[in-house]
Every structure is written in structure tokens, then in C-alpha cells.
Amino acid sequence: MELPNFSYIHSLSGGDKDFEQQLLKILKAEFPEEKEIYFKAVAEKNFSDAAEIVHKIKHKISILGLEKSYTLADTYENNLKMGETALQKEFQEVLQVMTDFLKEL
């Protein structure tokens, strides 16, 4: 599994460390709540809401430089829109990788 990195954040910031810290602060604040909403929607089999929150999370996946995981999330989002849960396990592994990474910051 690929690991989060700062390459995209560095390219966005142009070396502005304050900007980078602010972006990471937003990720750390928003991601846990979005993850909770996702798990609730899946538990309730509300795949439309799950797809909507996956859409939001996949942008954070991209910000953390997880290119393959972004593609997986995009496919999973489309699956959820059709009521399919294929890739659920793989997506949840990505969520765990992100959780672990953000906790270490």
C-alpha cells in the first residue's frame, strides 16, 4: 500500500510553511468527522450519502499524495452510486493509513 506524503502539499505551498501547516490543520480537523459520517452511512446502507462523503474524502486522499488510492476512491464512489460495495475493504484500508498518518503529525 502506498504511503501519504507531502509532495502535493509542497507543490501547492511553494515553500510557504505556514500555508502547509494550515492545510494540515484543516485535514486533521475535517477528516475524522468525514470518516465517521462515511462509516455511519455504510452501516445504514445509505450508499448515496456514502458516495457523497467518499467524494469529499478523495480530495484529501489526493492532497496526501495517494495517487493510486485516489483512483480506488473514485471507482468506489461510482460503485456506491450504483449500490455496490465492491472495494469497501480496500477503501477502508486507505482510511486507516490516512488516520495513522494524520495522528503522527
Q: What is the pLDDT of residues 13-53, one digit of tens each?
A: 999 999 999 999 999 999 999 999 999 999 999 999 999 99
Nearest to 6, CA basis, from 16, 18, 19, 20: 20
Q: Is the pLDDT of residue 1 over 90?
A: no
What's this model's pTM, rounded to 2 decimal places? 0.95
CA 30 – CA 34 distance, rounded (Å): 6
Per-residue pLDDT for 103 more than 90? yes
Phi, psi of 4 (to 5 degrees): -60, 150
